Chains A and B, each alone.
Chain A
Amino acid sequence: MSQSPPADPPITFYRLQACPFCERVTRKLDEYDLDYRSRFVEPMHSERNVVKRISGKRTVPAIVDEETGVTMSESANIVAYLENTYGNGSEA
Protein backbone atom coordinates (compact mmCIF):
# COMPACT_ATOMS: atom_id res chain seq x y z
CA MET A 1 0.00 0.00 0.00
CA SER A 2 1.36 3.40 -0.97
CA GLN A 3 -0.03 5.36 1.96
CA SER A 4 -1.28 4.53 5.39
CA PRO A 5 -5.00 4.92 6.04
CA PRO A 6 -6.04 8.19 7.70
CA ALA A 7 -6.65 7.77 11.42
CA ASP A 8 -10.29 7.62 12.46
CA PRO A 9 -11.35 10.88 14.06
CA PRO A 10 -11.61 10.51 17.84
CA ILE A 11 -15.12 11.99 18.06
CA THR A 12 -18.20 10.33 16.56
CA PHE A 13 -21.15 12.67 16.37
CA TYR A 14 -24.65 11.19 16.02
CA ARG A 15 -26.90 13.81 14.49
CA LEU A 16 -30.13 14.46 12.68
CA GLN A 17 -30.22 16.57 9.55
CA ALA A 18 -31.42 20.15 10.27
CA CYS A 19 -31.79 19.51 14.02
CA PRO A 20 -30.96 22.86 15.73
CA PHE A 21 -29.63 21.13 18.85
CA CYS A 22 -27.24 19.15 16.67
CA GLU A 23 -26.15 22.27 14.78
CA ARG A 24 -25.37 23.87 18.12
CA VAL A 25 -22.92 21.02 18.77
CA THR A 26 -21.50 21.29 15.24
CA ARG A 27 -20.75 24.95 15.86
CA LYS A 28 -18.86 24.11 19.02
CA LEU A 29 -16.89 21.28 17.40
CA ASP A 30 -15.92 23.63 14.58
CA GLU A 31 -15.07 26.43 16.96
CA TYR A 32 -12.48 24.20 18.64
CA ASP A 33 -11.40 22.78 15.29
CA LEU A 34 -12.05 19.23 16.48
CA ASP A 35 -11.86 16.31 14.10
CA TYR A 36 -15.13 14.36 14.09
CA ARG A 37 -17.08 11.83 12.09
CA SER A 38 -20.77 12.57 11.49
CA ARG A 39 -23.31 9.77 11.57
CA PHE A 40 -26.76 10.83 10.46
CA VAL A 41 -29.73 8.96 11.88
CA GLU A 42 -33.46 8.62 11.32
CA PRO A 43 -35.96 11.37 12.07
CA MET A 44 -38.17 8.63 13.58
CA HIS A 45 -37.23 8.46 17.23
CA SER A 46 -38.32 4.81 17.54
CA GLU A 47 -35.87 3.74 14.81
CA ARG A 48 -32.73 5.18 16.33
CA ASN A 49 -31.48 1.97 17.87
CA VAL A 50 -27.89 2.72 17.00
CA VAL A 51 -27.99 5.78 19.27
CA LYS A 52 -29.71 3.84 22.02
CA ARG A 53 -26.97 1.21 21.87
CA ILE A 54 -24.18 3.71 22.38
CA SER A 55 -25.76 6.19 24.80
CA GLY A 56 -28.70 4.37 26.36
CA LYS A 57 -31.11 6.95 24.90
CA ARG A 58 -32.56 7.56 21.46
CA THR A 59 -32.00 11.30 21.53
CA VAL A 60 -29.61 13.25 19.35
CA PRO A 61 -27.22 14.93 19.42
CA ALA A 62 -24.99 12.36 21.03
CA ILE A 63 -21.23 12.14 20.90
CA VAL A 64 -18.66 9.47 21.61
CA ASP A 65 -15.20 10.83 22.36
CA GLU A 66 -12.57 8.08 22.14
CA GLU A 67 -9.96 10.52 23.42
CA THR A 68 -11.58 10.72 26.85
CA GLY A 69 -13.86 7.69 26.82
CA VAL A 70 -16.91 9.93 27.22
CA THR A 71 -20.32 9.22 25.67
CA MET A 72 -22.87 11.99 26.09
CA SER A 73 -26.34 13.18 25.02
CA GLU A 74 -28.18 16.53 25.30
CA SER A 75 -26.75 19.52 23.48
CA ALA A 76 -26.30 21.68 26.60
CA ASN A 77 -24.32 18.91 28.29
CA ILE A 78 -22.24 18.27 25.20
CA VAL A 79 -21.44 21.95 24.71
CA ALA A 80 -20.41 22.27 28.35
CA TYR A 81 -18.29 19.13 28.05
CA LEU A 82 -16.55 20.43 24.91
CA GLU A 83 -15.91 23.80 26.52
CA ASN A 84 -14.45 22.20 29.62
CA THR A 85 -12.38 19.69 27.71
CA TYR A 86 -11.22 21.57 24.64
CA GLY A 87 -12.00 25.25 25.29
CA ASN A 88 -9.74 28.00 26.61
CA GLY A 89 -8.50 27.15 30.07
CA SER A 90 -9.51 23.52 29.60
CA GLU A 91 -7.76 20.71 31.36
CA ALA A 92 -6.69 19.01 28.11
Chain B
Amino acid sequence: MDLDFDVVDLEKTDHPKEGDEAPDFTRPLVNEEFWEDVSLSELARERPVLLVFYPMDGDFPATYIWNEIRDRAWEESHEIEIIGCSISTPYEHKSLIEERHMNYRLFSDPQNEVAEKYDIVNDLDGMAGVSEARPAVFLLDSERTIEYVWVAEQWPDFPDYDAVRDAIAAVCSER
Protein backbone atom coordinates (compact mmCIF):
# COMPACT_ATOMS: atom_id res chain seq x y z
CA MET B 1 0.00 0.00 0.00
CA ASP B 2 1.15 3.56 -0.75
CA LEU B 3 0.56 5.51 2.43
CA ASP B 4 2.33 8.60 3.78
CA PHE B 5 2.56 7.09 7.27
CA ASP B 6 3.78 3.85 8.75
CA VAL B 7 1.32 1.02 9.18
CA VAL B 8 1.45 -0.98 12.40
CA ASP B 9 4.31 -3.46 12.58
CA LEU B 10 3.52 -6.77 14.23
CA GLU B 11 6.05 -8.35 16.55
CA LYS B 12 8.23 -11.15 15.24
CA THR B 13 6.99 -14.58 16.15
CA ASP B 14 8.40 -18.07 16.27
CA HIS B 15 5.95 -19.54 13.78
CA PRO B 16 6.76 -22.82 11.98
CA LYS B 17 9.12 -22.37 9.03
CA GLU B 18 9.79 -24.09 5.73
CA GLY B 19 10.94 -27.66 6.35
CA ASP B 20 9.11 -27.89 9.71
CA GLU B 21 6.15 -30.16 10.24
CA ALA B 22 2.95 -28.13 10.49
CA PRO B 23 1.25 -28.74 13.87
CA ASP B 24 -1.77 -31.01 13.54
CA PHE B 25 -5.16 -30.02 14.92
CA THR B 26 -8.81 -31.03 14.70
CA ARG B 27 -11.60 -28.46 14.39
CA PRO B 28 -15.04 -28.25 12.82
CA LEU B 29 -14.51 -27.97 9.09
CA VAL B 30 -17.34 -26.12 7.39
CA ASN B 31 -18.58 -26.62 3.85
CA GLU B 32 -21.63 -25.09 2.22
CA GLU B 33 -23.92 -27.74 3.69
CA PHE B 34 -22.65 -28.95 7.06
CA TRP B 35 -19.67 -29.13 9.36
CA GLU B 36 -17.85 -31.98 11.05
CA ASP B 37 -14.65 -32.43 12.99
CA VAL B 38 -11.71 -32.98 10.65
CA SER B 39 -7.98 -33.03 11.30
CA LEU B 40 -5.39 -31.24 9.21
CA SER B 41 -3.46 -34.51 8.84
CA GLU B 42 -6.50 -36.22 7.29
CA LEU B 43 -6.71 -33.49 4.67
CA ALA B 44 -3.00 -33.43 3.95
CA ARG B 45 -2.93 -37.18 3.39
CA GLU B 46 -5.08 -36.73 0.28
CA ARG B 47 -3.14 -33.96 -1.44
CA PRO B 48 -1.04 -30.87 -0.65
CA VAL B 49 -2.90 -28.31 1.47
CA LEU B 50 -2.78 -24.54 1.34
CA LEU B 51 -3.78 -23.52 4.86
CA VAL B 52 -4.90 -19.88 4.91
CA PHE B 53 -5.31 -18.13 8.25
CA TYR B 54 -7.36 -14.98 7.93
CA PRO B 55 -9.05 -12.40 10.19
CA MET B 56 -12.62 -12.92 11.35
CA ASP B 57 -15.34 -13.37 8.73
CA GLY B 58 -16.94 -10.06 7.82
CA ASP B 59 -13.95 -7.74 8.03
CA PHE B 60 -12.48 -6.37 4.84
CA PRO B 61 -9.24 -8.42 4.85
CA ALA B 62 -11.29 -11.63 4.93
CA THR B 63 -13.28 -10.43 1.94
CA TYR B 64 -10.18 -9.30 0.01
CA ILE B 65 -8.22 -12.46 0.71
CA TRP B 66 -10.99 -14.86 -0.34
CA ASN B 67 -12.00 -12.84 -3.39
CA GLU B 68 -8.41 -12.95 -4.59
CA ILE B 69 -7.91 -16.67 -3.91
CA ARG B 70 -11.25 -17.54 -5.48
CA ASP B 71 -10.49 -15.53 -8.61
CA ARG B 72 -7.05 -17.09 -8.98
CA ALA B 73 -8.58 -20.60 -8.61
CA TRP B 74 -5.28 -22.44 -8.18
CA GLU B 75 -7.20 -25.62 -7.43
CA GLU B 76 -8.37 -25.72 -11.04
CA SER B 77 -4.86 -26.05 -12.42
CA HIS B 78 -3.09 -27.93 -9.61
CA GLU B 79 -3.63 -30.76 -7.14
CA ILE B 80 -4.14 -28.56 -4.09
CA GLU B 81 -6.68 -28.37 -1.29
CA ILE B 82 -7.24 -24.77 -0.24
CA ILE B 83 -8.52 -24.51 3.33
CA GLY B 84 -9.22 -21.47 5.52
CA CYS B 85 -9.11 -21.00 9.28
CA SER B 86 -10.50 -18.15 11.36
CA ILE B 87 -12.06 -17.58 14.78
CA SER B 88 -15.53 -17.22 13.27
CA THR B 89 -18.26 -19.72 14.07
CA PRO B 90 -19.47 -22.39 11.63
CA TYR B 91 -22.62 -20.32 11.02
CA GLU B 92 -20.53 -17.32 9.93
CA HIS B 93 -18.35 -19.55 7.77
CA LYS B 94 -21.41 -20.84 5.95
CA SER B 95 -22.48 -17.27 5.22
CA LEU B 96 -19.00 -16.32 4.00
CA ILE B 97 -18.82 -19.34 1.68
CA GLU B 98 -22.20 -18.38 0.27
CA GLU B 99 -21.50 -14.65 -0.07
CA ARG B 100 -18.07 -15.10 -1.68
CA HIS B 101 -19.30 -17.92 -3.95
CA MET B 102 -16.26 -19.91 -2.98
CA ASN B 103 -15.56 -23.62 -3.09
CA TYR B 104 -13.28 -23.73 -0.08
CA ARG B 105 -13.87 -25.32 3.28
CA LEU B 106 -13.12 -23.36 6.43
CA PHE B 107 -11.96 -24.44 9.90
CA SER B 108 -13.72 -22.80 12.81
CA ASP B 109 -11.43 -21.98 15.76
CA PRO B 110 -13.29 -19.57 18.08
CA GLN B 111 -10.82 -20.05 20.95
CA ASN B 112 -7.91 -19.14 18.63
CA GLU B 113 -5.93 -22.13 19.89
CA VAL B 114 -4.79 -23.15 16.42
CA ALA B 115 -3.27 -19.70 15.90
CA GLU B 116 -1.59 -20.09 19.31
CA LYS B 117 -0.16 -23.43 18.20
CA TYR B 118 1.24 -21.77 15.09
CA ASP B 119 2.39 -18.68 17.06
CA ILE B 120 0.52 -16.28 14.81
CA VAL B 121 -1.84 -14.70 17.36
CA ASN B 122 -3.07 -11.16 16.73
CA ASP B 123 -4.61 -9.52 19.82
CA LEU B 124 -7.06 -6.95 18.59
CA ASP B 125 -6.73 -3.45 20.00
CA GLY B 126 -10.07 -1.99 21.04
CA MET B 127 -11.88 -5.37 21.12
CA ALA B 128 -11.39 -6.51 24.68
CA GLY B 129 -10.86 -10.24 25.03
CA VAL B 130 -10.77 -10.87 21.29
CA SER B 131 -7.75 -12.31 19.59
CA GLU B 132 -7.55 -13.90 16.18
CA ALA B 133 -5.00 -15.29 13.75
CA ARG B 134 -2.84 -12.83 11.86
CA PRO B 135 -3.06 -13.46 8.13
CA ALA B 136 -0.77 -16.35 7.21
CA VAL B 137 -0.37 -18.95 4.49
CA PHE B 138 1.19 -22.40 4.88
CA LEU B 139 1.68 -24.74 1.94
CA LEU B 140 2.00 -28.34 3.17
CA ASP B 141 2.93 -31.53 1.40
CA SER B 142 1.27 -34.85 2.21
CA GLU B 143 3.49 -35.35 5.26
CA ARG B 144 2.50 -31.89 6.57
CA THR B 145 6.00 -30.61 5.85
CA ILE B 146 5.89 -26.87 5.22
CA GLU B 147 6.99 -26.06 1.67
CA TYR B 148 6.16 -22.36 1.74
CA VAL B 149 5.17 -19.97 4.48
CA TRP B 150 4.07 -16.37 4.63
CA VAL B 151 3.03 -14.64 7.86
CA ALA B 152 1.78 -11.05 8.13
CA GLU B 153 4.34 -8.63 9.52
CA GLN B 154 2.09 -5.60 9.49
CA TRP B 155 -1.51 -4.87 10.29
CA PRO B 156 -3.09 -5.08 7.84
CA ASP B 157 -0.98 -7.22 5.52
CA PHE B 158 -1.85 -9.48 2.60
CA PRO B 159 -0.24 -12.61 1.16
CA ASP B 160 2.11 -12.28 -1.79
CA TYR B 161 -0.26 -14.12 -4.11
CA ASP B 162 2.26 -14.49 -6.93
CA ALA B 163 4.73 -16.11 -4.56
CA VAL B 164 2.01 -18.48 -3.37
CA ARG B 165 1.22 -19.34 -6.97
CA ASP B 166 4.89 -20.10 -7.69
CA ALA B 167 5.15 -22.27 -4.58
CA ILE B 168 2.05 -24.23 -5.59
CA ALA B 169 3.44 -24.71 -9.10
CA ALA B 170 6.70 -26.02 -7.63
CA VAL B 171 5.10 -28.45 -5.17
CA CYS B 172 1.82 -29.62 -6.68
CA SER B 173 1.23 -31.70 -9.75
CA GLU B 174 -0.88 -30.22 -12.51
CA ARG B 175 -4.46 -31.31 -12.97
Number of residues of chain B lying within 8 A (CB) of chain A: 11
Contacts of B174 in A (CB 8 A): none
Contacts of B42 in A (CB 8 A): 5
Contacts of A48 in B (CB 8 A): 33
Q: Count the A-B residue pairs with Cβ separation under 8 angstroms: how many? A: 26
Q: With A1-B45, A5-B45 as given contacts, are A38 and B37 in contact (CB-CB < 8 Å)?
A: yes
In the complex the two chains form, what is the Cα distance from A39 to B42 in whole Å? 17
Asked if A41 is an interface residue, CB under 8 A from chain B, the answer is yes
Shortest beta-carbon distance, A63 to chain B, in Å? 14
Q: With A1-B45, A5-B45 as given contacts, are A37 and B33 in contact (CB-CB < 8 Å)?
A: no
Cβ-defined partner of B90 (8 Å) among A37, A40, A49: A40
- Contact (Cβ within 8 A) B45 A41: no
Shortest beta-carbon distance, A16 to chain B, in Å? 10
Shortest beta-carbon distance, A35 to chain B, in Å? 13
- Contact (Cβ within 8 A) A40 B33: no
- Contact (Cβ within 8 A) A41 B33: yes
- Contact (Cβ within 8 A) B36 A38: yes
Q: Pick the most buried of B34, B35, B42, B143: most chain A CB atoms within 10 A of its CB.
A: B34
- Contact (Cβ within 8 A) B45 A40: no
> With A14-B34, A40-B36, A42-B33 given, can you name 13 additional A-B contacts, CB distance below 8 Å?
A1-B143, A5-B42, A37-B36, A38-B37, A39-B35, A39-B36, A40-B34, A40-B35, A40-B90, A41-B33, A42-B34, A42-B94, A48-B33
Q: List 7 A-B contacts (CB under 8 A).
A: A37-B36, A37-B37, A40-B35, A42-B94, A48-B33, A50-B33, A50-B34
Chain A residues proximal to chain B, CB less than 8 Å: 1, 5, 14, 37-42, 48-50
